[in-house]
Structure 1
Amino acid sequence: MLVCATALVLGSAPAFAAGDKKTYEDAKSLAKQTYTGALKSCDPLDGNRKDICVADAKAARVRSEAEAEAAYKGTAKAREAASRDIAEANYKAAKERCDDLKGNAEDVCEKEAKAALTRARADAKANRKSVRARDDATKDKMKADYEVAKQKCDAMSGDAKDACTKQAKAQYPH
């Protein structure tokens, strides 16, 4: 029960501005504290149940720390790395759950865990590429809009043309 609550607490994405170091450090500290508490809740368990509990606690900590770091850095690359780290931790936890099974059921469980990892990696990569494509498209649009504004300014002369050109550069940075 505590592990589920831990996953909910740690699973929520940090809501802070990129570069907010204090909030980032606070999020990391909270992740560590929550992880320590979750590990203590695993102590009375034994065998694979304990292994699953520990793996879930680690996955929750990884999620919290990775999301905090991605939010702190605020880059597509950091978000992709966070997604990969979270996927790896979830994969390890899923594999622990598979250990309780036997025969074909265990094989299927492991294949499902591996497939989920592969999907998560592919999604992380695709998300980064789509962000990059959107950024490139935005730059292309701004450049085109600037060229139109600049052309309109060319019809003017003197101070009016200078003011128009200055405004176009400010409105459409390129």
Structure 2
Amino acid sequence: MHKFPQLLATCVAAVMATSAFALTPAEQKAEKDRISADYKAAMAQCKSMNGNAKDVCEKEAKGHEKVALAELDFKKDATESNRYKVAKARADAGYDVAVEKCDDQSGNAKDVCKKDAKADHVKALEAAKVAEVRNEPNANSAAKAADVSDARKDADRKVREAEYKAAAERCDALSGDAKDKCVTDAKRRFGQ
């Protein structure tokens, strides 16, 4: 009987804590204005640059803006869907910047750079998907465990495929027997 007051106090504290983190409409507007100002300032800094450095700078500015807006949405509504959107925005922003940085290279090095960026992007997206499934509420723990297991298997398969493509691209710089051995090793390593 004496546990009820402790339970009640815990529930009240939890409700107060979640409502304390909720943003008022005025705070939301102020945060959006700050994000917009930060984006404009970052883009203004990019104007002084030339060539691919300018392109990379612009991608970074756009990426920071997208991530900040996704985080703001998560602050407004802390759902698993919005948590996934934040992770996706981070992965997409990182990928866009990495691909843009690859433009400084040429030939096979550029192709390898892009494949590596794609593999990193796939890893980040798949990790976010697994986390989303893991954090979804589900009354049946056995069903949830099965869903998480399926999500992990699917993620592992997609990551291995992306890593294989990057490894195979590295092999393109070689020729003859060395290339054949490299491709065979990549297939074996990534189960392709």
Q: Does 1:23 align with 2:30?
A: no
Match of 1:121 among 119, 125, 133: 125
- Displacement of 1:19: 5.3
Partners of 1:77 and 1:111 in 2: how far apart? 28
Q: Distance in 2 between matches of 1:86 and 1:110?
A: 17
Q: Which residue of 2 aligns with 1:136?
A: 138
Q: What is the Cα deviation at residue 86 of structure 1?
A: 2.3
Check conservation: 2:63, 2:89, Cα contact below 8 A: no
Task: Please state if 1:72 is matched with 2:76.
Answer: yes
Alignment partner, residue 33 of structure 1: 37
Q: Which amino acid aligns with 2:70?
A: A
Structure 2 gap ranges (5+): 1-19, 142-192
The CA deviation string for residues 144-172 of structure 1, in whole angstroms up to 9 with x for no partner, is xxxxxxxxxxxxxxxxxxxxxxxxxxxxx
> RMSD value over aligned CA atoms?
1.9
- Provide the C-alpha distance between the structure 2 equivalents of 1:77 and 1:18, rounded to a whole number of angstroms: 17
User: Residues 30 and 19 from structure 1, CA distance in 2 versus in 1: closer, same or farther, beyond 3 angstroms?
Assistant: closer
**Counterpart-to-counterpart distance in 2, 1:29 and 1:103:** 42
Which AA in structure 2 matches 1:92? D
Which of 82, 87, 105 matches 2:86? 82
- CA contact under 8 A between 1:18 and 1:71: conserved in structure 2? yes
Q: Which residue number in structure 2 is paired with residue 155 of structure 1?
A: none
Q: 1:51 aligns with which of 51, 55, 59?
A: 55
1:172 aligned residue: none
Once the two structures are TM-superposed, the CA of residue 85 in structure 1 deviates from its matched residue by: 2.2
Between the two structures, name the one with larger relative contact order (CA 8 Å, sep ≥ 6).
Answer: 1
- Structure 1, unaligned runs of 5 or more: 1-15, 141-174
Contact 2:95-2:117 at 8 Å conserved across structures? yes
Q: 1:29 to 1:130 in 2, by over 3 A?
A: same
Segments ≥4 residues shifted beyond 6 Å:
none
Q: Is the 8 A contact 1:24 1:69 kept in 2?
A: no
Q: Distance in 1 between matches of 2:96 and 2:133?
A: 26
Q: Distance in 1 between matches of 2:121 and 2:97?
A: 11
Distance in structure 2 (CA, Å) of the matches to 1:127 and 1:22: 32
Give aligned pairs, total. Answer: 122
